[in-house]
Structure 1
């Protein structure tokens, strides 16, 4: 097989016949003796209340905030049950959930949250992992037990009334129409804001915490809410509903337990700033199953607080199952971080598809975060058209789009990777360790696998097994330790397939690649050592390995 395309076809056919017919059994999780977490589901009385009985009108004009909240409150006082939103267009302000209430959207129900920002009062809440004052979320609940949002209806968060928009995200015609609609454009003429308040907030160096409420009133429009905000709640069910057009993050459970998302659809415009789909923050015991995400930032995201506040809270996100989900446009398909300062552990991800995301499996953090991410199991991921990395471990997250704009450079573009100076270890040093990633395919990515640790804290103990990746660049490994690639196919036209810098105990076992690869491996850095190339046919490469000056003479062993 002499061509890259031909080799890809052969490998994909082989992989198809070797793969199990279904990932329903969580693949290797059960066979490895892993005890999956048990998630408690809510239960509700059959008592049913219609919001129309409380004066709600489905004309798209009447503001039904009071009627919907009265129905929820009365249902709660009676011991719980189901509050039904029938078919129709229901305009409303913020909805407050109550314990023991299932808010059920009938098929054909469209709940449109008002675009009048004055309808959302400022409240004490959180923003990107830290305490903050923001506008009240369209849907919220605090210290609740036994709650649900179910049905086949749609909840629309009126996000266009809140979000700033980058010119580069739109066509020229779209940008002209947006500017003509009102709002404010910055001096560079490349960012649009919905109001003067929004623009004022964006131009501040930082929004300070702990200020009098009058301080926040002056930039109220800038303080976008998340669409669904649940804090310290237990036994949560979101099922069947579509959540769309969020002002910021869409679904944000914080410090919650026993969470089930099933057959939920989350949609945000692809240009939506901070338009995450799901952010589970410092939560435990959760199931995300058969859900679909098409959003403007990360799709399925795991967090646990930011920097000092996250470490002080010290509550990891743990015991989470994600399976049978689809992610379309998003910055990352399945993501951990970057706000992971309270730690993350015991996650089980299986049978998911990522199509057109910027990154597939995205694990990101930065100096200053602290926190330990460990015991992450991924099995059965299929990806197409990934703009950046198919699999990414990055400890230099810089809070910008993961795909470089034209003219920017990315690590791995040449053999001599930049050397980053070490910093002293502290509680603010983050850690990634103990990941198992199996049975992954990707057709089309910029980079197949990238691992980028810190010189003072390597990415450690990563197994990547039974993987087929077609990408422009193959494998880039910087500041890593105890990394094992086994039965991995890297189909790349890059002149150098694998680049390893200052990494130790790297095992490359049964690596497949395209014929006529120029250089199989380049090793650099005086701390690179213990690199093994096993069970790999090196005859397809013009040259097997090169080392830069300073690499120990016995750093690489082959057999």
Structure 2
């Protein structure tokens, strides 16, 4: 007999599946009017004071056990606030637990110990590779609902861990460093914390976790494995708010494969000469907000990563759905940075209302052959920059590799095949950017086998020593772009690129030559609504470039 109920249920299931599929297709993509959001943690009001668990603020007592006991007790009772009150608190590694808000009072200084034996050797991650590390001063793995709040200071005692070059110190500082112990390199140019560190620095892949490697063997170089200050791995609903994190041994704030992650009013202070002294490294995370935060670092300021080479591609977790706003980066290698370990990709990133002062590079997007990964759908606006040491805006696929000369790039016939290890940069929208002082205004440098694609720059004003280089670019648009450069011709150098459009291009007085068109592959360079007559020469062609490639309307 025909069963009406069964038929109706089946029909409903089919209709429901179709509806869900339709809903998925129609989901509104992220845009400035529909930004990604990060869910915040929530905590019970119960407060656990570390003093009640035996901690002493004398700067002498090692409070590791007391602080961790307090965190354990708080988590075991359903969570709440662990209070670190006023005082100087000496401690070893702190382990966070779910449902705990570690609150560091404004008058509190948490000082991590210089006794390296307190940091266990663990299996961790370094620059996208599985590697042995010393235990981080603060860590948490597989946690939910966690926070570090308050306006206190957390100091990683990084100077005991880091190597440093002589030319990065004053003579007095260098003499004091050498007198403290450690080892000076044979050429007398670098100080290392120990002989083991010096040996490890000259050993390829020291500490990498590979087939046949063991913790016992890795112990030989334990001093070499500088810990990142804070490492949170695979955690959900994370809040870092108000605190100052400073003087890390390596990266300061490293979040790995986390979800719903908020940095609000965080301050990072690392010495300008701190090796690998990154501010924040957001790696393979989803739903992230960085807001009202300040970074002054020895390496990249706000950095986006997603694993390195084959390991990163195998992990396959992009950093995605992220907003960065109302933040400042002072001295750093880059203000806002993607890469170079971006093998899992990055997408749906939104950066707005940020200021970069004195960074080596302002907006920095870096990768190289072998990384793979796709970086796409990146939106940036309202950026103010001053005194940028090299490029104000940089897209570079030759990171760590040998940079070819203009002539080599224009005449390069050696084009490697595109594979899963070929990186991709595409679909960037950058607008309302002002920079007073840089060495170069803009560089876009793709690979012969993989052009950098669909880069859109609008309402940009830059004063620099040198102008613009566009190399192996495709579908590049510069609209309402002002560039003032001190260097001689050409102001804009285009090599082996196609479909590059300039609209309302403006340039400083005294510009000798506006365009240099290079390479046989260059085509469809179009200039509209722009007055090129103010320069002594509009355009020159080199290295086989066809004059038909340049169109001025």
The equivalent position to 2:298 in structure 1, one of 278, 296, 299, is 296
Which runs of no fewer than 5 residues in structure 1 stay unpaired?
1-28, 401-409
SS of residue paired to 2:313 = helix
The equivalent position to 2:418 in structure 1, one of 425, 434, 450, is 425
The correspondence of residues 111-260 of structure 1 with structure 2, limited to 5 A, is: 111-207=110-206, 208-210=208-210, 211-260=213-262
**Residues 111 and 384 of structure 1: is their aligned pair in 2 closer, same or farther, counting only changes over 3 Å?**
same
CA distance in 2, matches of 1:33, 1:124: 40
Per-residue Cα deviation, 1:80-114 (whole angstroms, up to 9, x for no partner)? 00000000000000000000000000111000000
Residue 59 of structure 2 is aligned to residue 57 of structure 1:
no
The correspondence of residues 78-477 of structure 1 with structure 2, limited to 5 A, is: 78-207=77-206, 208-210=208-210, 211-398=213-400, 419-420=411-412, 421-477=414-470
Residue 507 of structure 2 is aligned to residue 538 of structure 1:
no
The equivalent residue for 2:5 is none
SS of residue paired to 2:276 = coil
Runs of 4+ in 1 over 4 A off after TM superposition: 29-34, 414-420
Q: CA deviation at 1:521?
A: 0.5
Per-residue Cα deviation, 1:347-380 (whole angstroms, up to 9, x for no partner)? 0000000000000000000000000000000000
The equivalent residue for 1:491 is 484
Q: CA deviation at 1:268?
A: 0.5
CA distance in 1, matches of 2:479, 2:290: 29
**Residues 43 and 216 of structure 1: is their aligned pair in 2 closer, same or farther, counting only changes over 3 Å?**
same
Q: CA deviation at 1:411?
A: 7.6
The answer on whether the counterparts of 1:448 and 1:490 sit within 8 Å (CA) in structure 2 is yes
Number of residue pairs matched? 521
Q: CA deviation at 1:523?
A: 0.6
CA distance in 1, matches of 2:154, 2:415: 48
CA distance in 1, matches of 2:483, 2:30: 27
Q: CA deviation at 1:79?
A: 0.3
SS of residue paired to 1:79 = coil
Q: CA deviation at 1:542?
A: 0.2
SS of residue paired to 2:343 = coil
Q: CA deviation at 1:549?
A: 3.7
Q: CA deviation at 1:416?
A: 8.0
SS of residue paired to 1:160 = helix
SS of residue paired to 1:219 = helix
CA distance in 2, matches of 1:140, 1:293: 21
Question: Normalized against structure 1, the TM-score is what?
Answer: 0.91
SS of residue paired to 1:347 = strand
Structure having the higher Rg: 2
Per-residue Cα deviation, 1:121-158 (whole angstroms, up to 9, x for no partner)? 01111110111110000000000000000001000001
CA distance in 2, matches of 1:32, 1:240: 28
The answer on whether the counterparts of 1:514 and 1:540 sit within 8 Å (CA) in structure 2 is no
CA distance in 1, matches of 2:262, 2:409: 43
SS of residue paired to 1:226 = coil
SS of residue paired to 2:136 = coil
The equivalent position to 1:552 in structure 2, one of 543, 546, 549, is 546
**Residues 239 and 399 of structure 1: is their aligned pair in 2 closer, same or farther, counting only changes over 3 Å?**
farther
Q: CA deviation at 1:419?
A: 4.8
**Residues 416 and 313 of structure 1: is their aligned pair in 2 closer, same or farther, counting only changes over 3 Å?**
closer
SS of residue paired to 1:454 = coil
Please report the RMSD computed on the Cα atoms of aligned residues, expressed in angstroms. Answer: 1.7
CA distance in 2, matches of 1:448, 1:285: 32
CA distance in 2, matches of 1:357, 1:131: 30
Of structures 1 and 2, the one with the larger relative CO (CA 8 A, separation 6+) is 1
Question: Normalized against structure 2, the TM-score is what?
Answer: 0.92
CA distance in 2, matches of 1:463, 1:418: 23
SS of residue paired to 1:539 = coil
The equivalent residue for 2:521 is 527
Moved more, 372-381 or 183-192: 183-192
Moved more, 210-219 or 471-480: 210-219
The answer on whether the counterparts of 1:228 and 1:252 sit within 8 Å (CA) in structure 2 is yes
The answer on whether the counterparts of 2:262 and 2:288 sit within 8 Å (CA) in structure 1 is yes
Q: CA deviation at 1:202?
A: 0.7
Which runs of no fewer than 5 residues in structure 2 stay unpaired?
1-27
**Residues 30 and 293 of structure 1: is their aligned pair in 2 closer, same or farther, counting only changes over 3 Å?**
farther
Per-residue Cα deviation, 1:34-65 (whole angstroms, up to 9, x for no partner)? 52112100000000000000000000000000
SS of residue paired to 1:375 = strand
